Structure 1
Amino acid sequence: MLSYDELTSPERELWDAFPEGRHVDLRTGVPEDDRVCEGGHWGPGRTVRAAVIVALLQGANTAQPGAVACLSLTGARISGHLNLAGAQIAHAFWLRDCWFEEGVDLSGASTQSIAIVGSRVPGVEAGLIRIEGRLDLRRSRVESGSVSPYHRRVTALSLINAHVSGAVSLNGAEITAPGEWAVSAGGLVAEGGVYCVDGFVAHGEVRLMGAQLPGGLHMRGARLEHPGRRGVALALDNAVASTLDFSDGFSADGTVRLRGARISDLTFEGAVLNGPPDGHGPSLEAVLMQAVDFDFTLARPPSGIVDLRGAQVSYLHDSDRSWPDVVELDGFVYGSIKVDEAGERQEAVGPRDSVARRVAWIRRSPRYNPQPYEQLASWYRKAGHDDDARRVLLAKQRHRRRTLPPAARAWGHLLDATVGYGYRPWLAGVWLLALTLLGAVSFGTHSPNPAKQGEGTPFQPLVYTLDLLIPIGGLGQRAAWYWSSDSLQWLAYSLIALGWVLTTAVIAGVTRTLQKN
């Protein structure tokens, strides 16, 4: 136990101020001398041992009647290891513009609000902490310290399985652990949300897997640099959040991963997704993600793959800058697609968002998958654009044809040319009209021979041609006449064969259409 006589002058000042909750400011008032980056040169007159802070927060100097004790200190050099692991802290404490020689250990502690603002700290370990209030690390520089006992990896800020009833504020902070874990907060519950705005920078991976964020994650304008060895800048696997705000210049040099995350509002408006620095890996991986509103109007196309396989969103907002060369869309389900038009978000139908553009979007997938086409066609039908839905399904069949063996591809080309796979049945009428005119003109300039002299109906070129083309039934002309000219006889045979092919194609195409719709 520390005795009062052992305390230095700044420590006595803090000791005396604590019971009344008074603030202690050790700054000199000279800007050059008070810069936190120069804290390593601050002398004994500005140095407070970490053991003194621990002793006060553990009740070494009791509160005065009628006063609320708290620890409030500015401009100090904190020597030694501030170890409050497992402590039951009944008092809030604020440390501003301080320089820490060693890291801070708050793992497993229970405490009131904590503020370490504008300070330099070589690592904060706060796994399993319970905070009845807020955690404030605004404008602080937190650097990677020792290996965490919870995950055996170098990390700068650990909040694994922490519970904060208020907000976690990292506004303007710089968290540094290049190639490692800058923030490790798997299982974090932050009821007031996590705020990483006003110039927040992370050098290393930010991990919030399984986090519960009713107040959301706000990273407007944040920069995520130097990701971990796996190239992941931000991991939010299975997280649940009201809002994920990656807008207004947010940039990530690594994968943003949202596997299985559940979000109400997700926005990347004006963001830059550079993907992993080595060029391998996706810029956005959102497999099985669920979101109500998904705004993906980026500042420029991502440099890496966007993987949305199995994701579900109610409203998708995109633009020409949203999509890279490769997009994984198999299983991606959306209720509506909206684009910006005249400053308003409107349904993405019409000349400004053509079917060809949407089909080209699907074709960015590296392989054929029918679901993206079916999903797009379903959306067009719900929007009342049945013709556009049929165009999408026709494009699906043409894409599928490339994956078939040669014989099936040939049959597919025939179906496409004759009836557009059943989505353009009017083509059958065009073929029928053309062949009818060809036969009527060709047969009308010559006289055939009767099969039986003096029997049968008079020769009618048009009726005769139709009789050849229609494979079912008969009009009494085909069997009554034959040709002595080989060329006309072969034309008759050809019309019979084309009639069968055309009829088969019509039946196959219409059957497929009825089955799909």
Structure 2
Amino acid sequence: MPYAEDHYSVRVLSYDELTSPERELWDAFPEGGRVDLAAGAAQDVPVAEGGRWGPERTVRAAVIVALLQGANTAQPGGIASLRLAGARISGHLDLAGAQIAHAFRLTDCWFEEGVDLSGASTRSIGLVGCRVPGVEAGLIRVEGRFDLRRSRVVKGPASPFHRRLTALSLINAHVSGAVNLSAAEITAPGEWAVSAGGLVAEGGVYCLDGFVAHGEVRLMGAQLPGGLHMRGALLESPGPRGVLLALDNAVASTLDFSDGFTANGTVRLRGARISGDLTFDGAVLNGPADGRGPALAAPLMHAVDFDLTLARPPSGMVDLRGAQVSYLHDSDRSWPEVVELDGFVYGSVKAGGAGEAGGRRDSVARRVGWLRRSPGYNPQPYEQLAGWYRKAGHDDDARRVLLAKHRHRRRTLPLAARVWGHLLDVTVGYGYRPWLAGVWLLALTLVGTLAFGTHSPQPVKPDEGAPFQPLVYTLDLLIPIGGLGQRTAWYWTQGGLQWLAYLLIAFGWVLTTAVIAGVTRTLQKS
């Protein structure tokens, strides 16, 4: 007689001890036949209420374990696999460390207790449309797909893992195909909904079609050659730190958080390496509810194409310190009130929205406003933006950015330095607007010529030297080096004109010093 071995008590069950649904599954296994216990059910009770299903739809976990461990070998010409639908699985499905030679797929099943696959080696696994109180699959090796589509995985007291923090664990798992969580709902409020640090998923991870996670999704150090796809996913109920998605030091071909992806907590990509696209096109980043944490934390992140054209501005800070991207796409909805940009490097930037429609001058003003959102003063963001404008051939725009940098820095200086900075600004624009010195020189020359032309000064040596020329005299006062022979040949008896002469001499020295300082700074930066 065929038999089944109870995984815990190691008690042998005879074929006669199997229930009717268990016998049906037993007989179908050698040829991979599908058993659907919902087909003949008298009532249409949904999977969420599978605890109400009776003995006619109940299969003991021990029977499934026995079959997958070779209790009923395949018939000649048949390919054994376990395919069960619409069943209530009683007991603990414990396959920890098992070497499973057969694929198995459980569809629309209700589990009394959690599933333990930790350290197992198997082919494709499918728990599709099931209700499971916890799945432990750390260190698993899957030569195929790991499929949890449409399933509801809930960490709770019914789970043997209820003392752990995780509803679904894939820590250090290796899946040669895809991990498919599309349309699944994984719940561990305030804890870890998914813990998959060190996961290798060669076919990628798919969380599409309305995937929902109540709790943190942890993929730190994951290797995802097929990418992470979370279009339209919803992440909420973060843990105490407010982090919803942690991809620290992960390596992926693409990270897709587009088309309505919503995170009501922090998305953290610290040190992540993305060889292709990182997109938040149409996403909503709300950040933690208490407002204390960032909406997006991506320091030291590397990506080729970074699209941050969000559906609306983030409600929390965006941290891009030390990040590097080749192409940056943003819009007026991309940036919150606070943006950390120190060390952020980009090769090219492309913006959309009304901010770019008013011409390049408006674009520069918008970009400078973007840099001003960074707390404190850091020169690197200004140098980075100016360098990008130079590469694009817009030297005038680069100078505008560098001028804004000096004005921002001026706010951090002591009073005396701020006064000198204002003087450099109004006279030569910190060296980036040298034509201002010419404007000042022309205006002062005009004032001096008109004022000195109304009266005649007294000669220092009568009947000697050139006749008095108001224009030449004014220029002689304004030019501190050398001389035109007028300043030393004439003096004023009117007190007001004498003081004007002193002021013009002082202005001449100030203008000359400012021009030299500004030109020197410009030459040092060029």
TM score, norm. by length of structure 1: 0.96
SS in 2 for 1:33: coil
Once residues 353 and 477 of structure 1 are traced to their aligned partners in structure 2, the CA distance between those partners, rounded to angstroms, is 48
2:26 is aligned, of 7, 10, 15, to: 15
Shift in Å at residue 348 of structure 1? Answer: 9.3
Give matches, 1:215-294, under 5 Å: 215-263=226-274, 264-294=276-306
2:323 is aligned, of 300, 304, 311, to: 311
Cα deviations by residue, 1:118-152 (Å, 9 ceiling, x for unpaired): 00000000000000000000000001147999997
1:162 aligns with 2:192: no
Shift in Å at residue 405 of structure 1? Answer: 0.6
- Residue identity opposite 1:273 in structure 2: L
Once residues 170 and 150 of structure 1 are traced to their aligned partners in structure 2, the CA distance between those partners, rounded to angstroms, is 20
Cα deviations by residue, 1:419-444 (Å, 9 ceiling, x for unpaired): 01111100000000011111111111
1:426 aligns with 2:426: no
1:397 aligns with 2:403: no
Q: Mean alpha-carbon deviation: is it higher for 326-335 or for 346-355?
A: 346-355
1:457 aligns with 2:487: no
**Structure 1: 5+ residue runs without aligned partners?**
none
- Residue pair 1:418, 1:502 contacting (<8 A) in 2 also: yes
- Residue pair 1:377, 1:393 contacting (<8 A) in 2 also: yes
Distance 1:352 1:381, change over 3 A: closer
- Residue identity opposite 1:314 in structure 2: S
Distance 1:204 1:502, change over 3 A: same
SS in 1 for 2:48: helix
Shift in Å at residue 341 of structure 1? Answer: 6.9
Shift in Å at residue 153 of structure 1? Answer: 3.8
- Residue pair 1:337, 1:348 contacting (<8 A) in 2 also: no
- Residue identity opposite 1:356 in structure 2: A
- Residue pair 1:148, 1:155 contacting (<8 A) in 2 also: no
SS in 1 for 2:407: helix
- Residue pair 1:338, 1:347 contacting (<8 A) in 2 also: no
Once residues 290 and 451 of structure 2 are traced to their aligned partners in structure 1, the CA distance between those partners, rounded to angstroms, is 68
- Residue identity opposite 1:45 in structure 2: E
Q: Mean alpha-carbon deviation: is it higher for 29-38 or for 472-481?
A: 29-38
- Residue identity opposite 2:371 in structure 1: I
Once residues 360 and 397 of structure 2 are traced to their aligned partners in structure 1, the CA distance between those partners, rounded to angstroms, is 12
- Residue identity opposite 1:495 in structure 2: L
1:364 aligns with 2:373: yes
TM score, norm. by length of structure 2: 0.95
Kindly, what percent of the aligned residue pairs are identical? 83
Root-mean-square deviation over aligned CA pairs: 2.0
Shift in Å at residue 109 of structure 1? Answer: 0.5
2:343 is aligned, of 315, 327, 331, to: 331
- Residue pair 1:415, 1:505 contacting (<8 A) in 2 also: yes
Distance 1:348 1:215, change over 3 A: farther
Once residues 472 and 452 of structure 1 are traced to their aligned partners in structure 2, the CA distance between those partners, rounded to angstroms, is 23
Cα deviations by residue, 1:344-367 (Å, 9 ceiling, x for unpaired): xx9999348521111111111121
- Residue identity opposite 1:313 in structure 2: V
1:354 is aligned, of 342, 360, 363, to: 363
Q: Mean alpha-carbon deviation: is it higher for 152-161 or for 408-417?
A: 152-161
**Structure 2: 5+ residue runs without aligned partners?**
6-12
| Paired position in structure 1 for 2:135 | 124
Once residues 114 and 229 of structure 1 are traced to their aligned partners in structure 2, the CA distance between those partners, rounded to angstroms, is 33
Aligned length: 514
- Residue pair 2:203, 2:226 contacting (<8 A) in 1 also: yes
| Paired position in structure 2 for 1:406 | 415
SS in 2 for 1:414: helix
- Residue identity opposite 2:484 in structure 1: L
Give matches, 1:84-99, under 5 Å: 84-99=95-110
